[in-house]
Every structure is written in structure tokens, then in C-alpha cells.
């Protein structure tokens, strides 16, 4: 018996996100159930908090 892992060809790892987005659009949805807007905002706020702790500032944020 031969064992192996079968996976679709990946170019950059974003293919699953693109397919989920396409499916949501085709179904007339305004967000993907796999990654709702509230979760996107939660992750971005967390990343902003981490950047702040590191003292990392993007050029567009400098005043």
C-alpha cells in the first residue's frame, strides 16, 4: 500500500483565501464565513498592538 499526501498546486499559499472569496461572491455574500470581518479586525488590532510594543511604525503613520 502506498501512502502520500495529496495537495493542490500552490503558488504562494493564498489560493485557499482566493477560492473562499470567489465562492462568497458567487453566493452573493459580503464576507467569507471562514474569515468574517470581525475576525479580520481582531487580527489587525492584535498586529497593531504587537507593532506598537516593538516600536514599529510604517512611514504612512509618521507625523
Residues 21-50: pLDDT tens digits? 899 999 999 999 888 999 999 999 999 999
Domain containing 19 equals 15-61
Number of domains the chain is built from:
1
Whether residue 9 is contained in a domain is answered as no
Query: b or e along 18-35 (b: 16 or more beta carbons within 10 Å of the residue's beta carbon)?
Result: eeebeebeeeeeeebeee
> Percent of the chain having pLDDT more than 90?
52
Could you tell me if 24 and 33 are in contact, meaning their C-beta atoms sit under 8 angstroms apart? yes
Contact criterion met (CB below 8 Å) for 21 and 32:
yes
Q: Are 20 and 35 in contact (CB under 8 A)?
A: yes
CB 36 within 8 A of CB 30: no
- Tell me, yes or no, whether 3 lies in a domain: no
Amino acid at each position: 500500500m502506498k501512502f502520500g499526501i495529496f495537495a493542490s498546486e500552490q503558488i504562494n499559499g493564498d489560493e485557499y483565501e482566493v477560492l473562499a472569496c470567489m465562492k462568497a461572491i458567487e453566493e452573493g455574500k459580503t464576507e467569507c464565513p471562514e474569515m468574517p470581518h470581525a475576525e479580520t479586525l481582531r487580527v489587525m488590532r492584535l498586529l497593531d498592538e504587537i507593532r506598537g510594543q516593538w516600536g514599529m511604525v510604517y512611514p504612512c503613520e509618521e507625523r
